[in-house]
């Protein structure tokens, strides 16, 4: 009799595989209020590592962290017309507080452009105050009708950057810098996801933006996931909130702005990019635990050895965990670490001690081989970097294999059933985009033929990537 699979196989039911993995790898639970989630320690560890890596890049780009209130007066939202229209259906409203009804209800922030502009308009006085580069790590709330853990949740965690600049060019360049140097670099080189950098069509833009840059990733089932966005806001919010500065030549000018964000949705993207039928596979550069050293049996010498190896690897800069919980069967623990996608397992039993070896199990390529304990600390960093590169290669190969060049709208719709389609924007346009939308196929982004980000929707040689999406 074949062993029952731990997870529903991807090929049988991808959404169910996703939910199974999240439960069994103990990443998250559904919250009691519809659409909310509880992020369990191992899942939160993934998010914490994302935060660390992103935060360092955001600071390198010159932005400083700050914190703005959760509660926004309802009147702020209405100041920017497109913005309120975009968010109104998703708002959660506090009407009662401190034992009585509020005179003016307050909304729980769905994003912070409005409240931040209220303060930018006080803080920015002169050109000397620009650029003003602020980031915030926070929770936001958007009431979700069709929630799915990590991907669409009523409350999620994110960072939202907000900046004000003296000129259009400076704002445009900063939005592009965040897009490429912060988000693109992080997703490609840490998450090992081969994201495509492009621009959104007018239809898909953020509510209140003049341009939205996006990073799109192909999931294991060929659908797309928007991993992050960076917006040029133009002067829309500046006009609504009178965010002005005194220029060098003594005139009052409106600032030019950007905003940009990534969220816990990236955890969902990570799972659906790298997971397989045995569980998650975490890229080594991200992994909160890069290697686990397992004692196969509760033998004193084995326990002492796994701890010693743990100390050695820690000293070598590896994020390591020792698993000496030998009152739980070894097989169950091995399956659990596999589910959690820890890149490397080092398994040590009594026979290994005699030979001076251990079994090295690599989660990413799969397979096990004996390894000499002597050289482990020297070998492991190389193994981890190899497996990091392998994951990125697999991500790229999947995207290339499942992207089809097409010439008509019908062909695009057809190709989008199993992957992505590339079609010249000139052959699609807003009308073709609307037709595809009727079949739940969207333009994920526009790219130039050379892979760069077009400066306008109708720039010559612009290609649309279309697909179904999460």
Residues contributing to the site for a second copy (CB under 8 A):
29, 31-33, 36-41, 43-45, 47-48, 64-73, 76, 88-99, 105-106, 108, 115, 118-119, 122-123, 128, 134, 138-139, 141, 143-145, 154-155, 157, 325, 327-328
Q: How many residues does the chain have?
A: 470
What whole-number distance in Å separates Cα of residue 357 and Cα of residue 108? 56
- Provide the minimum distance between the beta carbon of 165 and a second copy in the complex, in angstroms, as a whole number: 17
- Provide the minimum distance between the beta carbon of 453 and a second copy in the complex, in angstroms, as a whole number: 29
Q: Indicate the helix (H) or strand (E) that contains 227.
A: strand 224-234
What whole-number distance in Å separates Cα of residue 415 and Cα of residue 272? 20
- Provide the minimum distance between the beta carbon of 88 and a second copy in the complex, in angstroms, as a whole number: 8
Burial of 101 (0-12, 13-18, 19+ CB in 10 A): exposed
What letter does residue 2 receive in the DSSP assignment? P
What whole-number distance in Å separates Cα of residue 160 and Cα of residue 141? 13
Backbone φ, ψ for residue 14 (5° rounding)? -60, -45
As a whole number of angstroms, the longest Cα–Cα distance in the chain is 83
> Which of 35/222 has CB closer to a second copy?
35
What whole-number distance in Å separates Cα of residue 310 and Cα of residue 312? 5
Question: Is-contact 195 203, C-beta < 8 A?
Answer: no
- Provide the minimum distance between the beta carbon of 102 and a second copy in the complex, in angstroms, as a whole number: 9
What whole-number distance in Å separates Cα of residue 344 and Cα of residue 26? 19
> Which of 55/299 has CB closer to a second copy?
55
> Which of 102/389 has CB closer to a second copy?
102
> Which of 5/41 has CB closer to a second copy?
41
Backbone φ, ψ for residue 343 (5° rounding)? -55, -40
> Which of 36/439 has CB closer to a second copy?
36
Q: Residue for token digits 């743990």?
A: 310
> Which of 8/51 has CB closer to a second copy?
51
> Which of 28/453 has CB closer to a second copy?
28
> Which of 47/420 has CB closer to a second copy?
47
What whole-number distance in Å separates Cα of residue 405 and Cα of residue 412? 8
- Provide the minimum distance between the beta carbon of 47 and a second copy in the complex, in angstroms, as a whole number: 8
- Provide the minimum distance between the beta carbon of 69 and a second copy in the complex, in angstroms, as a whole number: 4
> Which of 131/234 has CB closer to a second copy?
131
> Which of 133/463 has CB closer to a second copy?
133
What whole-number distance in Å separates Cα of residue 183 and Cα of residue 288? 20
- Provide the minimum distance between the beta carbon of 26 and a second copy in the complex, in angstroms, as a whole number: 8
| Residues 395, 42, 385, 20, CA torsion sign | negative
> Which of 55/170 has CB closer to a second copy?
55
| Residues 265, 35, 27, 467, CA torsion sign | negative
- Provide the minimum distance between the beta carbon of 282 and a second copy in the complex, in angstroms, as a whole number: 16
Could you tell me whether strands 462-467 and 224-234 are parallel, antiparallel, or unpaired per DSSP bridges?
unpaired
- Provide the minimum distance between the beta carbon of 147 and a second copy in the complex, in angstroms, as a whole number: 11
Q: Indicate the helix (H) or strand (E) that contains 189.
A: helix 185-189
DSSP reduced 3-state for 68: coil
- Provide the minimum distance between the beta carbon of 124 and a second copy in the complex, in angstroms, as a whole number: 13
What whole-number distance in Å separates Cα of residue 53 and Cα of residue 16? 30
- Provide the minimum distance between the beta carbon of 240 and a second copy in the complex, in angstroms, as a whole number: 15
Buried-exposed string 211-228: b where 16+ CB fall within 10 A, e elsewhere: bbbbbbbbbbbbbbbbbb
């Amino acid at each position: 009799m074949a062993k029952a699979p731990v997870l529903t196989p991807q090929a049988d039911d991808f959404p169910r595989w996703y939910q199974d993995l999240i439960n069994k790898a103990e990443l998250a639970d559904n919250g009691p209020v519809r659409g909310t989630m509880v992020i369990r320690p191992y899942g939160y560890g993934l998010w914490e590592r994302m935060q660390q890596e992103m935060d360092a890049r955001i600071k390198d780009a010159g932005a400083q962290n700050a914190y703005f209130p959760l509660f926004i007066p309802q009147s702020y939202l209405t100041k920017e017309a497109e913005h309120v229209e975009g968010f109104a259906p998703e708002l959660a409203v506090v009407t009662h507080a401190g034992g009585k009804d509020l005179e003016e209800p307050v909304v729980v922030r769905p994003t912070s452009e409005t409240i931040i502009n209220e303060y930018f308009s006080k803080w920015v006085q002169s050109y000397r105050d620009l650029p003003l580069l602020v980031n915030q790590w926070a929770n936001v709330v958007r009431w979700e009708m069709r929630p799915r853990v990590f991907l669409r949740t009523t409350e999620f965690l994110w960072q939202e950057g907000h900046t004000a600049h003296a000129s259009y060019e400076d704002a445009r360049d900063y939005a592009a810098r965040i897009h490429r140097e912060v988000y693109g670099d992080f997703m490609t080189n840490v998450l090992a996801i081969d994201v495509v950098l492009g621009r959104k069509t007018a239809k898909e833009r953020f509510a209140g933006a003049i341009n939205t840059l996006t990073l799109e990733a192909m999931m294991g089932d060929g659908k797309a996931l928007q991993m992050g966005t960076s917006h040029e806001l133009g002067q829309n919010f500046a006009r609504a909130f009178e965010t002005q500065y005194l220029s060098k030549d003594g005139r009052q000018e409106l600032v030019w702005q950007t905003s940009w964000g990534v969220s816990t949705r990236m955890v969902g993207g990570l799972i659906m990019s790298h997971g397989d039928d045995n569980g998650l596979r975490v890229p080594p550069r991200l992994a909160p635990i890069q290697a686990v050293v397992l004692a196969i049996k509760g033998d004193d010498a084995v326990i002492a050895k796994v701890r010693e190896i743990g100390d050695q690897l820690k000293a070598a800069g590896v994020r390591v965990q020792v698993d000496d919980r030998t009152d739980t069967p070894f097989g169950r623990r091995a399956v659990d670490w596999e589910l959690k996608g820890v890149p490397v397992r080092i398994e040590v039993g009594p026979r290994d001690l005699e030979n001076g070896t251990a079994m090295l199990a690599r989660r990413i390529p799969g397979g096990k081989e004996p390894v000499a304990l002597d050289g482990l600390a020297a070998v492991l960093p190389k193994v981890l970097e190899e497996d990091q590169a392998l994951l990125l290669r697999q991500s790229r190969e999947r995207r290339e294999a499942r992207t089809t060049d097409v010439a008509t709208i019908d062909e695009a719709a057809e190709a989008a059933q199993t992957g992505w389609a590339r079609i010249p924007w000139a052959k699609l346009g807003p009308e073709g985009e609307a037709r595809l939308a009727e079949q739940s196929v969207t333009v994920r982004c526009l790219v130039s033929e050379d892979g760069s980000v077009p400066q306008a929707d109708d720039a010559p040689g612009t290609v649309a990537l279309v697909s179904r999406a999460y």
